[in-house]
């Protein structure tokens, strides 16, 4: 079985890719997609595209810092994804927060995570500030 391929914009894709994408499906009854950094930017657009591609038959877990943005995204999803999906708050700049989010994710009633998307924004600066755990803060 081929993996599902999602594109935010199909305008420049060859017709063979468009045809494959149109027929690609998941074998999961209600696939679960976890979108880390899913409250804005590419992560948000990928989450929305995934829900649309699955025609609403998906459960999304949006991980990020902005609850209002996540709530807005979830409300905009096609049904039933808009009622199956949820927000898990996490500032991913600290490993202890990521560990806590993973513990919370493990407590969810999930048989499997079908899609895991990591799309955390990054800004390059000349200064390299470190977090309390020694990670690059910028």
Domains and CATH numbers, the chain: 25-118 (3.40.50.720)
CA nearest to 17, candidates 26, 7, 8, 27: 7
Q: Decide if pLDDT at 123 tops 60.
A: no
Q: And the tokens for 11?
A: 């305008």
Q: Is 12 helix (H, G, I), strand (E, B) or coil?
A: coil
Give the CA distances from residue 27 to residues 24, 31, 32, 51, 58, in Å, rounded to whole numbers and listed in that order: 10, 8, 11, 15, 12
Distance between CA 98 and CA 34 in Å, rounded?
13
CB-CB contact of 21 with 29 (8 Å): no
Number of helices followed by number of strands (H, E) in the chain:
5, 4
Task: For residue 103, name the pLDDT band (cuts at 50, 70, 90).
Answer: very high
What does the pLDDT read at residue 29? Answer: 84
pLDDT digits (tens, 9 = 90+) for 32-86: 999 999 999 999 999 999 999 999 999 999 999 999 999 999 999 999 999 999 9
What does the pLDDT read at residue 2? Answer: 47
Strands 59-64 and 86-89: parallel
């Amino acid at each position: 079985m081929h993996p599902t391929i999602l594109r935010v914009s199909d305008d420049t894709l060859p017709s063979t890719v468009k045809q494959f994408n149109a027929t690609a499906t998941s074998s999961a009854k209600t696939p679960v997609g976890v979108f880390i950094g899913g409250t804005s930017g590419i992560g948000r657009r990928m989450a929305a595209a995934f829900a649309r591609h699955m025609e609403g038959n998906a459960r999304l877990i949006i991980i990020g810092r902005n609850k209002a943005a996540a709530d807005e995204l979830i409300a905009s999803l096609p049904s039933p994804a808009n009622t199956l999906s949820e927000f898990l708050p996490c500032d991913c700049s600290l490993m202890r927060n990521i560990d806590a989010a993973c513990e919370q994710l493990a407590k969810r009633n999930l048989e499997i995570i079908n899609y895991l998307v990591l799309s955390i924004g990054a800004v390059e600066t000349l200064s390299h500030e470190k977090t309390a755990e020694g990670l690059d803060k910028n």
